[in-house]
Structure 1
């Protein structure tokens, strides 16, 4: 009796274990056949045995694939920032340090072949841009300089299938000696402006006094002329 009970129990446990293993296998297959592409991502299917990649770009959502025969590769396509600084020289040989902020994202149609980061920056291209401007022109035309810097960076980024969304300067600083010279020049210009304003004020006061004097003379002349034509008291 006891042996029969143990036999039935063992048989039942064996079935339960087999069922659990089957459920586990099915669950693993289902999990392996599903993948999720989140917002800001794209997927490309890679075939490990064939060593090839599909050119189809898979968008956001939950998708199915053939387990072990297809492997989804997830790519981040969000816009990302990158900041770098470099030292260059202007047309008038002034040393300047520029900090550039770049926003970029991978070119989606080329996801299987592009880079996920910006390629190495060629400073010679950037130096060629900065050397076109004097120090004063550089400060006065930052938007134009930024556009030229973007063109230089875009030429390199295109080779790696990277799209530049935005390029701008976050800082432009010259050498301490040049900065002090600029401050001295600004002080001198301010003093010159104050001197010119003072001279202009004095000239305005002189003109006002001259106009008032001439007006007074005209009034006196008219008054005298009017009284000369009036009959004298003795003649009445």
Structure 2
């Protein structure tokens, strides 16, 4: 009986020891996957040296490993500022960034979680960087020089976040708005410019019409001068008679039955009438 109990007790002890070994084994190693970095803390104190991807040993029961995602993260952050001409300007930026794997230990010690990084580091620094970029130009320049505004913002934000172990990969301006007062001023300016352009167009059109009238007058005068010279020349009477007959035809009237030419050799214009008119 005692022998049977002793065997059972030894079996239980053996099973407990095996289970303890397995438990210690599971708690002695950690796997860091690709795109991650780990921070080892022993008794609540972060140890130097980030745990990069792979299998790592850690003291069982007294240590923990905080895993950070070091792939590209994207957050949209709003920002407000005043321009050089003291106009209110609001924007929303989409920021693509990642954590520096080598600096995750400092990030763990100073910022903690990713949510803290966004709310306590990225959002305030975005605000300050936008103020720096907006203060360099007027609100109109901020709209017309949007790419330059973004470049100044990128430079300021990159320099500010780099010291926190945050690498800015890209930013984009999701929205850029200005005060209602400036919006009305822009609209009024556009209307004034359209009216001015319309006035210039009307003036140019009038000038072209006047020049066309001048050209037509000059052409008519030149034609009359040439006609006068032709009439003065030998054979001019025939030309004049031909013109009279063609004018009659172009008027749509019936040619007269009688054509009388004065016996005076100096008279060049034919005298035309209908014989029916004479009979009356």
Range class of TM-score, shorter chain? 0.7 to 0.9
Structure 1 residues 147-158: aligned runs within 5 Å: 147-158=151-162
Contact 1:83/1:102 (CA < 8 Å) preserved in 2? yes
Structure 1 residue 192: Cα displacement: 2.0
- Structure 2: gaps spanning 5 or more residues: 239-264, 266-280
Question: How far does the alpha carbon of each residue in 1:92-140 deviate from its partner, in whole angstroms, 9 at most, with x for none?
Answer: 2222223233222112222211344251625566434322211211111
Structure 1 residues 96-107: aligned runs within 5 Å: 96-107=89-100
TM-score of the two chains, using structure 2 as the length reference: 0.64
Contact 1:121/1:153 (CA < 8 Å) preserved in 2? no
Matched positions, count: 227
Instruction: Indicate which of 175, 198, 203 corresponds to 1:199.
Output: 203
Structure 1 residue 164: Cα displacement: 1.3
The RMSD of aligned alpha carbons is 3.6
Structure 1 residues 3-18: aligned runs within 5 Å: 17=12
Structure 1 residues 1-236: aligned runs within 5 Å: 17=12, 20-44=15-39, 46=40, 48=42, 53-55=47-49, 57-59=51-53, 61=54, 63-68=55-60, 71-114=64-107, 115=111, 116=114, 117-118=117-118, 119=121, 121=124, 123=127, 126-219=130-223, 221-222=225-226, 225=229, 229-231=233-235
Structure 1 residue 77: Cα displacement: 0.8
Counterparts of 1:11 and 1:217, CA distance in 2: 141
Q: Give the secondary-structure state (helix, strand or coil) at the position aligned to 1:121.
A: helix
Question: How far does the alpha carbon of each residue in 1:67-105 deviate from its partner, in whole angstroms, 9 at most, with x for none?
Answer: 427754322112222333333222222222232332221
Contact 1:48/1:70 (CA < 8 Å) preserved in 2? yes
The change in CA–CA distance for 1:225 and 1:42 in structure 2 (over 3 A counts) is farther
Counterparts of 2:93 and 2:177, CA distance in 1: 12
Counterparts of 2:167 and 2:202, CA distance in 1: 56
> Mean Cα displacement is larger for which, 130-139 or 108-117?
108-117
The structure having more radius of gyration, on CA atoms, is 2
Q: Give the secondary-structure state (helix, strand or coil) at the position aligned to 1:206.
A: helix
Counterparts of 1:24 and 1:212, CA distance in 2: 113
Contact 1:91/1:132 (CA < 8 Å) preserved in 2? yes
> Mean Cα displacement is larger for which, 189-198 or 131-140?
189-198
Contact 1:43/1:74 (CA < 8 Å) preserved in 2? yes
Contact 2:79/2:92 (CA < 8 Å) preserved in 1? yes
Contact 1:65/1:71 (CA < 8 Å) preserved in 2? no
